[in-house]
Amino acid sequence: MSLENISCNKSFGGWHKQYRHLSTVLNCEMRFAIYLPPQVNNGEKVPVLYWLSGLTCTDENFMQKAGAQRVAAELGIAIVAPDTSPRGEAVADDSSYSLGQGAGFYLNATEQPWQAHYQMYDYIVQELPSLIEATFPVTQQRSIAGHSMGGHGALVIALRNPDQYCAVSAFSPISNPMNCPWGQTAFSAYLGNNLEHWRAYDSCELIKQTAAQPKLIKLPIRIDQGEDDSFLHTELKPEALQAAAQQADYPVQFYRHQGYDHSYYFIASFIDLHLSFHASHLKKA
């Protein structure tokens, strides 16, 4: 699979790069960003944190606004930030910001006209890591994190594939998409009316299911939520996730922060704690 490098910037001794490639899973051209810390300059291979962004975002939002490169350079962690959906003239879209391009919800669509391109779950779990590990000086040690829709995606992907990740964290995740307007809109369009298909992409439902699987790997989870987030009660519903974790005896570190909202000002304020959290578990692997 050929990669086209479209930008390259030195940052804290490492390199931030953007690439374009043709995705066979998504059936379109995709873009992603990668930060390679300075340790790779000496021939060292480093673990990878995959970052999933939220509604309307691209690969650029996190890399430009979160201020993660300094700490990633110190800790020796690569960061990969994919786009949030398939894109292009032939890719189905919608006038709403919460559906279509920029709103892939990190699932595999089963309904038309979305099915042909909206296979973001397989892209994040399979195709992109295979490409990254075959191309860049990284190990097979992975963590995953995200914000809002991306927090939903990170939790779902990690909970469904606990053997592939060392840890998962999220800022302001859409915790219970089956029971919020954003999730119901997306799931109805992408997955149809079969609620069993919905449950496969709902973090609360996935955590509840772990109670019946005592041998299942329980990943370290960290979640940070701003108390002044305008989407807190209507879309994010963190209390549902807390209740599910308590019911299933699933250890989740949950932190609430007074005065913080849904923006990248919030993420930038605590991203160093998330990176340190991931580094501690990546080193154990």
Catalytic residue status for 95: no
Q: Which of 229, 274, 278, 281 does the annotation list as catalytic?
A: 229
Q: Which of 16, 147, 262, 274 does the annotation list as catalytic?
A: 262
Edge-first strand listing for the sheet containing 78-82: 3-11, 14-23, 28-36, 78-82, 46-52, 138-147, 168-171, 221-226, 252-257
| Dihedral in degrees, nearest 10, Cα atoms 278, 281, 282, 284 | 160
Catalytic residue status for 229: yes
Catalytic residue status for 262: yes
Q: Which of 11, 53, 148, 203 does the annotation list as catalytic?
A: 148
DSSP result, 45-94: -EEEEEEE--TT--SHHHHHHS--HHHHHHHT-EEEEE-SS--STTS---
What are the residues whose beta carbons fall under 8 Å from the beta carbon of 139, sequence distance 6 or more? 45, 46, 47, 48, 133
Catalytic residues: 148, 229, 262
